[in-house]
Amino acid sequence: MKKLYCFDFDGTLTYKDTMFMYLKFYDPTKFRLQFLKHVPLFVLLKLRLAETEKVKKSFIGSILKGQTQEKIEKKSRQFFEVHYPKIVRENALDFIKNIDRENTQSLLVTASLDIWARPFAEAFSMKLLATQAEFKNGVFTGNFIGKNCNGNEKLARIQTEIKGKKYDKIIAFGDTSGDKPMLKWANEGHYQFFH
């Protein structure tokens, strides 16, 4: 039986949101300053008066824009080494370890940026579908390539990835409204399964 697993990352497999953790890890001083500056935007976001993608881009860019790809990737590796497997839910880790790799394809589908999610995807032996950071001449522009990988975009990425492939069962795991299109589309959608 050929199966496809689609896992959300932040909150589903992990205890915490890795975006704030990573940015704080990258530059604690800059993080504190920019966090305070972005509080009004975060409030508007909660009230649904601001676009998630714009606020996210602004906050990430305020800390990482102009940084070299080399430095960002090095910090991502260090971040992973410090926090793995501590921030991953134990039952999620057990589940991942017991996946039948012969008959199952697994995707890590996340709104987090590919730069810090990649080491986790590699540790999980999963293909990463994430929000993509844009680099020009080895420097982060502060922009994304394509859309923020959330909501309908998550589903679109999965469908592009598996085009032409056949599965007997598609099983998805998520924990927020941003996972709903993926959960509804799958044969089995599990909400907060590892909580």
Cα–Cα distance for residue pair 30/194, rounded to 1 Å: 33
- pLDDT class of 106 with cuts at 50, 70, 90: very high
- Are the CB atoms for 103 and 1 separated by under 8 Å? yes
- pLDDT of res. 167: 98
pLDDT in tens, 32-66: 999 999 999 999 999 999 999 999 999 999 999 99
Question: 71: closest CA among 156, 152, 140, 146?
Answer: 140
pLDDT in tens, 116-167: 999 999 999 999 999 999 999 999 999 999 999 999 999 999 999 999 999 9
- pLDDT of res. 139: 98
- Strand order of the β-sheet with 169-174 is 139-145, 127-136, 104-113, 3-7, 169-174, 188-191
Residue-wise over 47-60: b if at least 16 C-beta within 10 A, else e? eeebeeeeebbbbb
Cα–Cα distance for residue pair 85/123, rounded to 1 Å: 9
Cα–Cα distance for residue pair 98/170, rounded to 1 Å: 17
What is the mean predicted confidence (pLDDT) over 171-190? Answer: 98
Cα–Cα distance for residue pair 133/172, rounded to 1 Å: 25
